[in-house]
């Protein structure tokens, strides 16, 4: 029996049970039958949860790009691998076949080698959503260089800290980027970033917006002439199953961003498998995931998952609101998209606009629609289901994380049922559990708790770059022996999961994870600020928005608070990026604290939400009187 494709509900239960009873046999068979290996494994897996030490397909040798491209060439060489849809609808879309993708990736891989990049070197990719982004990512993987894609909306100092943390030797960027009716000068952001990054030896620059930029002699090189001169004959690196494939940074509740390290074989097997089953992918489907490749969703479901299955994947450079709010629907019609995968924040923004933007488009090519990144509220779920999915396309609400590498809990289109706002059932191989405050597993149904996973899966991140201790503490120490997701969830009467949101100090704004600590650090750099605390509050489009409580220093001069507020948002924008700006700022004279000095964020959260009930026992606070002041001054 093959386990790769689940065809009906009965098979789902069968495969699921097999994957729990005999995980090694289950994943071993999937890996063996659906990929090409230079050499197979000696052991399917080995793990030690206490040490957070997890390995899959030990001893196997493989190259993920050979699996994404080369092995398809005999059958699918002239099939379209990538459809590039530019920001400006009047610019022609590009169709890149598997043959052409092979040629371009091989050339790029040779360029990287000629420029001194070797297996294990880190390469930072800071590019807009253009074909070069996909090609450079794949070229890195082909030669065993570890790619670290940084979303091209991050500021210079955010880019610098990511480059520095993993000591990237090279940065690949472009002159500029288009985003709706704006253009962004990416190269100048890189110039500013790498002033503080001595590890960077070379910067390769793709041309996109054709603006004038400065090229530093000896360091910066235009990409295209190098590619033109390179051979398209490239021998892929033979990688060990556990060699790192990429680093991707994600915010933590404290400290600097965490460079999650994903390794080769486990990630390959599970992204391919989950893509196939969640979206029920069939040959000739056209898959469009609207995320940016700078996030895990783009890594796994624009690039690796689809290409591993020989699919056609859409890369969209633009935004849903440009030239108007019908862009998504227009692109679905234009390219005959069959699977459409987007984020609740985009749905909410589009649902706020007139139905006249969506109704003229029949969207009859669509088979499956998907959601990812944050809980999807009931209203958005129904709008998406009714007006986009036409009530006939299964809506897969996919729960997973940068750390998990691939989708963990989700309906499987046409196989398992959907339920509004529920991520529903775990994929085979995934064992979710809910934990109570005493760290006991909660049995039975109709319960809520902290979501953990009790057994390793192939695509779990193996460590945090340069800090295994932090990896262990963040994910494996709160509930010993289990992986802690940081999310809360409820399990309904039949065992379906609904993710209720973060239980730590991470706030998800428009689908982006933001840690409160780095934002507070940025604010506290303002000379007039003594202390600050950030919480999230519900927002009808962004899901959550940020509310900042700020204590000003008494600095003699009376500063205009409006100006301070503007300066604070500018600081955040410079240090993290505009996505982390505060929606509301309240100046306060103190923050509610416990006697040990810990800020009571629960109270601040309630005030920000406008919920003045049930503050709990405030008499144990160091400064209970402050609660009324903050309540009265709520903005
Ligand atoms: O809180 C969960 C939320 O997004 C977090 C992971 O964020 P990130 O690592 O950026 O990855 C996002 C894309 C996979 C989770 O801890 N989240 C993600 N998907 C869902 C979700 N919350 C509810 N429902 C989802 N479908």
443 or 517, higher pLDDT: 443
Q: Is the CB of 165 under 6 A from ligand 1?
A: no
Give me ligand 1 centre to Cα 529, in Å: 32
Q: Tokens 């082909």 correspond to what residue? A: 142
Which residue lies with its CA nearest to atom 24 of ligand 1? Answer: 375
pLDDT at 602: 86
- CA torsion 308-313-318-322 (nearest 10°) is -150
* Cα distance between residue 502 and residue 541, in whole Å: 18
Q: What is the structure's pLDDT at 108? A: 98
Q: Supply the residue whose CA is at minimum distance from atom 14 of ligand 1.
A: 401
Residue among 401, 459, 485, 580 to mutate when testing ligand 1 (max atoms within 8 A of CB): 401
CA distance 364 to 392: 10
- The residue whose CA is least distant from atom 13 of ligand 1 is 373
Banded pLDDT at 560 (limits 50, 70, 90): confident
What percent of the chain is predicted at pLDDT more than 70?
99
With a cut of 60, say whether residue 564 has pLDDT above it.
yes
pLDDT of 559 higher than 80:
no
Does ligand 1 have an atom closer than 6 angstroms to the CB of 415?
A: no
CATH level 3 topology of 9-319+398-489: Rossmann fold (3.40.50)
63 Cα: distance to centroid of ligand 1 (angstroms): 28
Residue 43, preceding bond cis, omega within 30 degrees? Answer: no
- Give the pLDDT score at 624: 87
Q: Say if ligand 1 is within 6 A of residue 245 CB.
A: no
- Cα distance between residue 564 and residue 437, in whole Å: 40
Q: For residue 565, what are its two tokens?
A: 């507020």
- Ligand 1 centroid–CA 297 distance in Å is 10
CA neighbor of 420 nearest in space, from 460, 367, 459, 384: 384
pLDDT tens for residues 487-532?
Answer: 999 999 999 999 998 888 889 999 898 988 889 989 988 999 988 9
What is the whole-number distance in angstroms between the Cα of residue 71 and the centre of ligand 1?
32
Supply the pLDDT for residue 418.
Answer: 98
Is pLDDT above 60 for 357? yes
pLDDT above 70 (res 555): no
Which structure tokens are listed for 74?
A: 């005999």
How far apart, in whole angstroms, are the C-alpha atoms of residue 239 and residue 144?
7
Per-residue model confidence as pLDDT tens digits over 21-80: 999 999 999 999 999 999 999 999 999 999 999 999 999 999 999 999 999 999 999 999
Place of tokens 């026992």: 617
Please provide the CATH number assigned to the domain covering 510-632.
3.30.300.30
The tokens for 6 are 């689940």
Q: Does the beta carbon of 576 lie inside 6 Å of ligand 1? A: no
Q: Whose CA is nearest to atom 21 of ligand 1?
A: 374
Q: Is 510 in the pocket of ligand 1 (CB under 6 A)?
A: no
322-336, 400-414, 550-564, range with the lowest pLDDT: 550-564
Band (pLDDT 50/70/90 cuts) for residue 9 is very high
Q: What is the three-class DSSP state of 477?
A: coil
Burial of 342 (0-12, 13-18, 19+ CB in 10 A): buried
Residue 508, ligand 1, Cβ within 6 A: yes
Neighbours of 24 (CB within 10 A): 12
| Ligand 1 atom having least distance to the Cα of 402 | 9
- List all residues 6 or more positions away from 2 whose beta carbon is below 8 Å from its beta carbon: 29, 33
Give the contacts of 187 (CB within 8 A, at least 6 positions apart). Answer: 173, 174, 175, 176, 205, 213, 214
Say whether pLDDT at 274 is over 90: yes
Average pLDDT, integer, range 582-606: 89
Q: Say what the pLDDT of residue 622 is.
A: 82
- The band of 87, judged by pLDDT with boundaries at 50, 70 and 90, is very high
pLDDT at 126: 98
The packing angle between helices 186-194 and 156-165, to 10°, is 50
Say how many C-beta atoms besides its own lie within 10 A of residue 389's C-beta. 20
pLDDT at 254: 67
Residue 250 Cα: closest atom of ligand 1:
9
- Is 297 touching ligand 1 by the criterion CB < 6 Å? yes
Q: Taking the model in full, what pTM does it have?
A: 0.93
Confidence of residue 253 (pLDDT cuts 50, 70, 90): low
CA of 510 relative to ligand 1 center, distance in Å: 11
Helix (H, G, I), strand (E, B) or coil at 463: strand
Beta bridge partners of 447: 491
- Residue to mutate, 289, 396, 499, ligand 1, most ligand atoms under 8 Å from C-beta: 499
506 lines ligand 1 (CB under 6 A): no
Whether 374 is in the pocket of ligand 1, judged by its Cβ within 6 Å, is yes
Q: Is 241 in the pocket of ligand 1 (CB under 6 A)?
A: no
Per-residue confidence (pLDDT) for residue 558, from 0 to 100: 63
What pLDDT shows up at residue 580? 94
Can you give the pLDDT at residue 594?
78
User: Confidence class of residue 623 from pLDDT cuts 50, 70 and 90?
Assistant: confident
Q: Name the pLDDT band for 209 (thresholds 50, 70, 90).
A: very high
HSE of 168, CA atoms in CB hemisphere, 13 A:
31
- Delimit the domains of the chain by residue range: 9-319+398-489, 510-632
Sign of CA dihedral 66, 68, 73, 74: positive
| pLDDT tops 90 at residue 325 | yes
Q: Quote the mean pLDDT of the chain.
A: 95
Residue with tokens 């069959």: 338
CA of 408 to the centre of ligand 1 (A): 10
- State if residue 289 touches ligand 1 by the CB under 6 angstroms criterion: no
Q: Is the pLDDT of residue 557 over 80?
A: no
* Pocket perturbation via mutation, ligand 1, pick of 513, 542, 544, 580 by most ligand atoms within 8 A of CB: 513
Q: Choose the weakest-confidence range: 107-111, 324-328, 471-475, 622-626.
A: 622-626
Consecutive H or E run containing 330: helix 327-335
Question: pLDDT tens digit string along 285-323?
Answer: 999 999 999 999 999 999 999 999 999 999 999 999 999
pLDDT at 556 over 60: no
Coil, strand or helix at 227: helix
Pick the atom of ligand 1 nearest to 486's CA: 16
C-alpha–C-alpha distance, residues 85 and 336, integer Å: 13
């Amino acid at each position: 029996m093959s386990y790769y494709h689940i065809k009906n509900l009965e098979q789902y239960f069968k495969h699921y049970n097999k994957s729990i009873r005999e995980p090694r046999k289950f994943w071993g068979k999937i890996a063996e039958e659906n990929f090409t290996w230079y050499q197979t494994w000696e052991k399917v897996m080995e793990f030690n949860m206490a040490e957070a030490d997890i390995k899959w397909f030990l001893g196997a040798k493989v190259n993920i790009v050979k699996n994404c491209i080369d092995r398809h060439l005999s059958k699918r060489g002239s099939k379209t691998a990538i459809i590039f849809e530019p920001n400006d609808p009047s610019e022609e879309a590009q169709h890149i076949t598997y043959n052409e993708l092979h040629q371009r990736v091989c050339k790029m891989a040779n360029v990287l080698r000629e420029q001194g990049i070797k297996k294990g070197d880190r390469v930072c990719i800071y590019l807009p959503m253009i074909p070069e982004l996909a090609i450079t990512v794949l070229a890195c993987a082909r030669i065993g260089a570890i790619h670290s894609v940084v979303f091209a909306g991050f500021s210079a100092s955010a880019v610098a800290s990511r480059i520095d943390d993993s000591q990237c030797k090279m940065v690949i960027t472009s002159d500029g980027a288009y985003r709706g009716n704006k253009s962004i000068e990416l190269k100048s952001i890189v110039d500013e970033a790498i002033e503080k990054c001595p590890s960077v030896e070379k910067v390769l620059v793709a041309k996109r917006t054709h603006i004038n930029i400065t090229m530093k002699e000896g360091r910066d090189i235009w990409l295209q002439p190098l590619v033109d001169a390179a051979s398209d004959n490239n021998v892929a690196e033979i990688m060990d199953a556990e060699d790192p494939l990429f680093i991707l940074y994600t915010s933590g509740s404290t400290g600097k961003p965490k460079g999650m390290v994903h390794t080769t074989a486990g990630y390959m097997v599970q992204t391919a498998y989950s893509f196939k089953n969640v979206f029920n992918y069939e040959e000739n489907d056209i898959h469009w995931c609207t995320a940016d490749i700078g996030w895990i969703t783009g890594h796994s479901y624009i690039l690796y998952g689809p290409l591993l299955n020989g699919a056609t994947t859409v890369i969209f450079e633009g935004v849903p609101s440009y030239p108007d709010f019908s862009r998504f629907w227009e692109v679905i019609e234009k390219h005959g998209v069959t699977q459409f995968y987007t984020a609740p924040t985009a749905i909410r923004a589009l649902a706020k606009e007139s139905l006249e933007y969506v109704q003229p488009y029949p969207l009859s090519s669509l088979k499956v629609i998907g959601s990812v990144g944050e809980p999807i509220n009931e209203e958005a779920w129904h709008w998406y289901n009714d007006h986009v999915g036409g009530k006939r396309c299964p809506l897969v609400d996919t729960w997973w994380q940068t750390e998990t590498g691939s989708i963990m809990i989700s309906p499987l289109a046409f196989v398992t049922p959907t339920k509004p706002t529920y991520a529903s059932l775990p994929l085979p191989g995934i064992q979710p559990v809910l934990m109570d405050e005493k760290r006991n597993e909660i049995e039975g149904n109709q319960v809520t708790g902290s979501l953990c996973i009790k057994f390793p899966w192939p695509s779990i991140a193996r460590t945090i770059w340069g800090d295994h201790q932090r990896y262990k503490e963040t994910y494996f120490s709160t509930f010993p022996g289990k992986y802690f997701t940081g999310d809360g969830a409820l399990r309904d009467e039949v065992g379906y999961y609904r993710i209720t949101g973060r239980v730590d100090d991470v706030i998800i704004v428009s689908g982006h994870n933001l840690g409160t600590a780095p934002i507070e650090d940025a604010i506290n750099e303002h000379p007039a600020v003594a202390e600050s605390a950030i919480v999230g509050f519900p927002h009808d489009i962004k899901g959550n928005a940020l509310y900042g409580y700020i204590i000003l220093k008494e600095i003699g001069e009376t500063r205009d608070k409006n100006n301070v507020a503007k300066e604070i948002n500018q600081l955040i924008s410079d240090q993290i990026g505009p996505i982390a700006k505060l929606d509301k700022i309240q100046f306060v004279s103190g923050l509610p604290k416990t006697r040990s000095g810990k800020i009571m964020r629960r109270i601040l959260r309630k005030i920000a939400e406008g919920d003045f009930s049930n503050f709990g026992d405030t008499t144990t606070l160091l400064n209970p009187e402050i609660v009324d002041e903050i309540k009265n001054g709520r903005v």
